[in-house]
Amino acid sequence: MAALYLEHSSGTKFWRFEWEGDTDVKISYGKVGSAGRTMTKSFASADEAQNYAEKQEAAKRKGGYDDAEDPNDPTTETTTTPTKAKQAKSVTPSPPKVAKTRGLGGYAAPEPHKIHQVDDGVAGIDAALASRAQVHDTLHARLALVDPSINSDKYYVLQVLVEEHPNKKAKSNSKTTKTSASQYHVFTRWGRTGTGGQCKMAGPFCDLDDAESEFAKIFKSKTGVVWEKAVPGRQPLTGKYEYLATKKTSTDSSDDDEDDGDGTWFYYLQNDPDGKSDGWYQYDKKNSAEVEDLFGTYVASNKPARLSRRVVTSGSSGFQYRVDLNAMTQTNTSSGTTRPIARTVDGHFPISLPPPPNKKKAAPKKKVVATSAKKPAAKATTKKASPQKKAPPPASASSVAATGGVGTVDDAASSGLKSCGKIYQDYNVMLNQTNLDHNNNKFYKIQLIESSSGNNYTVFTKWGRVGEAGKTQEQGPFADVDAGIKEFAKKFRSKTANKWEDYQEDKDSFQSKTGKYTVVEMEQDAAAAAAMVENVGAAKTFLPCQLDATTKELVDLIFNEDMFKSAMSQMKLDPKKLPLGALSQTQISKGFTVLEKLEEEIDNGATGATLSQLTSEFYTLIPHAFGRSRGPVLKTTEAVQAKYEMLNTLADIEAAQTMQRNVQSAAGDEDTQPHPSDANYQQLAADLTLLDPDKDDDHQLIESYFADTKAGAMKLRQVWRVDRHKEENRFAQHAKLTNRKLLWHGTNVAVVAAILKSGLRIMPHSGGRVGKGIYLADQHQKSAWYVSGAQGTILMFLVEAALGKEHEILTDDPSLTAAPTGYDSVLAKGRTQPPEEAELEIDGKSVTVPQGIPKAVPAAKSSAFDHNEFLVYKESQHRIRYILAFDG
């Protein structure tokens, strides 16, 4: 018999199995203290039964169950697992490594500046341990995941606790004296900022190395950063928690008086509906301490914009506030009321009154100038600025999706809900399930919609096959929000076999179950949606566009919504179920993880059943539209690589959408705003200079380069010089490398905005015939194989590559991740190449431009490559010099 237990906020759960003969297994499960449920499974052989039992036990342990002893269960005295020879083997641990989880309702939120002290939540699991343990000198961290646009602000606390032997006091709990302490525990706590949240304790560990390994594993899973290399206060990775700097961890030695002592916080009340006098009012003690801690991390990190806007849930009132530590305001997320706030370090009330709410003035006109790295461009022809135009008249209520806490009310909802409803808090979830063996590929959407009056609530559901409109149902209205929440949670659990409240507190707790739906995490940007609605409904004036007409067309194309949707459709993704920018980076990362498993299984010669199961898992995480057909199983390395590229494209589309959200967020409420094309152009952080075909020598050189090596009937339309901001400094580290060439790079129009913003990148999962690097070519026709156009336009780049000493190869070598020792780049030598060269001077350095109609290369007649392919394995070894538009 084997018995496993899981400590849970609702009570301890058990799972046991017993052998009944050689081929029958009896399974019992439930809450400790109850009879639970029992079922018996029969198998054809003892081996099948044994395999089943081992898999079940492994799955339970992965889900957090362990060999903890239950004092109410006498069977735990000798917990054993039968072997094939029916011999029992003890699995009683010494000491047991138990993961205990507790809810901390009623506990105060953790305080960041006390990260070096034992967290108050420890007492919620083990009061005795809380009184005698201490936090390890260095193994502790406070993390935060902040996204004010969706009113999301979460914390995560990590601590290694040192529990010294009562008869052997340690002089230090540092790693050098680890043997002086008896046991170590890894404590974690998480939740919405301002709330008690939940906590978990792992251990005890007899060795500090084991505890540190567990600590580092959790830290990396939350931040994406290796603990040994982590620096508090650094910009976090996209979709990951930030390792916060606090007054304790900050290395900033500034004399800013904002760091002197603990501050007291106040809010300014005006026109109070309850009749209170206008004036400053002090925060209650807990809320003041919470905001002070947020302010401390903001200052300790040198006041980055990403930490200036926090979302705090008041433990005393239950209200949620957006606190702007730069503008010094707080906004109730439910009512939208904004009030000034103030901080004093002496505890006295503020003396000054808050400034009156002045209307912001429109920014002065600023001409967008495209600059060249070589010489000033010929003056581009521009259209005379047209008179300022008003925005379209307000849209009717039914034509605009209502917005609320997180996301928008689904378009398929009844007209009353769309026009007068909004999403209640974060009660909005998209689920997906794909099973290729049964040709299942379906979605399920659940929303809790609050009426504009706040008097009733409706649970909206929509389901169907991915790529189709699906069916809908509305339940309610419920007069009580708790009744609506109960129905929402019931549907969530029914479809996923997970509890909504557990998922709401910690998304990482979600466990995908066979035959059930899986959550598709979406980037729900309610603030941006609200801004768009407001922009449609308000009569705003836009400044004339400062870009020349041709450059404006380029910018408009690479940010075009229909172009993005078309690109997604070509990849078999459904833009209706995955609205632009909606699939989160976290969800994309999960897709990469499954592809890695597929790649490994293919390399190991896996069977069709395994590949079908993993492919189904991938399509569940990244919904694809296959109509009524069965989706293809990913069973070759090439098929998996194509999906890697698809996810990279999807991530780049999300990057472009983020730029547009930044534009909408920055627009504010000014009556006069920059032209949208100008605003998008500024987001690129790159200067584009349109070349004159008749006056610019480099245009004529590029034109002949294209004409000699082109593919098919493509026609060159325009060329722009590109100067990406800050790229010059990065490229300068290779200033001593000679052998510089201007080379082609083809791409999808959908990723051009992201490339102009960030440069060409070596993706973690990229690869090809010459390994993992940036692929360039000296023939237009080679790079043209990789383009994907839109609206009759194809875009390509010409890149200056600092090649240095080239290592030549004639056969594929996909294992390469760097040039061999003594070399700076790799040249996969093609059987043909342009026979001539011209010189172009850029930034004072000579850059070779291949010229002439390609000819056979006798020395490479046995090469596996048709054309030359140049590989650099450092992103800093290239600089984008031109972007070209073609008719295609």
Going from the N-terminus, what domains does the chain have, and what CATH number goes with each?
A: 2-95 (2.20.140.10), 99-243 (no CATH), 257-344 (3.30.720.50), 397-506+516-527 (2.20.140.10), 533-680 (1.20.142.10), 685-887 (3.90.228.10)
DSSP 10: T
Of the ranges 379-393, 552-566, 647-661, the best mean pLDDT one: 552-566
Per DSSP, the residues of 728-772 read HHHHGGGTT---EEEEEEE-BGGGHHHHHHH-S---TT---TT-S
Among the ranges given (148-152, 284-288, 663-667, 677-681), the one the predictor scored with the smallest mean pLDDT:
663-667
| pLDDT at position 563 | 87
Question: Over pLDDT 90: what percentage of the chain?
Answer: 28
* Higher pLDDT, residue 805 or 674: 805
CA dist 142 → 208, 724, 804 (Å) = 20, 35, 45
Calculate mean pLDDT across residues 534-556: 77
CB 884 within 8 A of CB 702: yes
pLDDT in tens, 586-627: 777 788 888 888 988 888 888 788 898 898 888 888 877 777
**Residue 398, token pair as written in the block:** 């039914």
Q: Which of 155, 352, 333 is nearest to 341 (CA)?
A: 352
CA distance 829 to 742: 17
Q: Who wins on pLDDT, 23 or 527?
A: 23
- Determine the 3-state secondary structure of 265 from DSSP: strand
Residue 713: its pLDDT value, please?
81
The pLDDT assigned to 731 comes to 93
CA dist 611 → 602, 608, 625, 626, 645 (Å): 8, 5, 19, 18, 19
Structure token digits, residue 402:
């209502």
Half-sphere exposure of 113 (CA within 13 A, CB side): 17
Residue 251 has pLDDT above 80, yes or no: no
Which pLDDT does position 97 carry in this prediction? 45
pTM of full prediction above 0.75: no
Report, as residue numbers or ranges, the catalytic residues: 869
pLDDT of residue 297: 83
Over residues 471-492, the mean pLDDT reads 90
What pLDDT shows up at residue 660?
Answer: 76
The pLDDT, as a whole number, for residue 859 is 93
Whether 48 has a pLDDT exceeding 90, the answer reads no
Tell which residue, 720, 696, 879, has the closest CA to residue 795.
720
Q: What pLDDT shows up at residue 529? A: 41
Share of the chain above pLDDT 70, in %: 74
State residue 571's pLDDT score: 78
Nearest residue to 412 (alpha-carbon basis) of 622, 578, 576: 576
For the segment 257-273, what is each residue's pLDDT rounded down to a tens digit?
A: 344 457 888 888 877 76
The larger pLDDT score, comparing residue 581 to residue 16, is at: 16
Give the closest residue to 427 by CA, choosing from 397, 456, 458, 401.
458
Q: 512: helix, coil or strand?
A: coil
Q: Return the pLDDT at 94.
A: 34
Looking at per-residue pLDDT, the higher value among 538 and 743 belongs to 743
Q: Quick: pLDDT tens for 374-411.
A: 333 333 333 333 333 333 333 322 222 333 446 788 88
For residue 824, name the pLDDT band (cuts at 50, 70, 90). very high
Q: Determine the Cα–Cα distance for residues 327 and 447; give it in Å rounded to an integer.
A: 33
637-667 and 585-603 helices, crossing angle to 10°: 170
Q: Which residue has the tokens 């600092």?
A: 802
Those residues with Cβ within 8 angstroms of residue 407's Cβ, 6 or more apart along the chain or in another chain: 423, 428, 447, 522, 524, 526, 529
* Whether pLDDT at 86 is above 50: no
Closest alpha carbon to 428 in 497, 572, 525: 525
- Rounded average pLDDT over 362-366: 34
Compute the distance between CA of residue 287 and CA of residue 641 in angstroms, rounded to an integer. 50
pLDDT of residue 521: 75
Q: What is the pLDDT of residues 297-353, one digit of tens each?
A: 888 887 888 888 888 776 555 677 888 888 888 888 767 788 888 888 766 777 655
**What is the per-residue pLDDT for 89?**
35
Is the pLDDT reported for residue 191 higher than 80? Answer: yes
- 736 or 279, which is more confident: 736
Chain mean pLDDT for the chain: 77
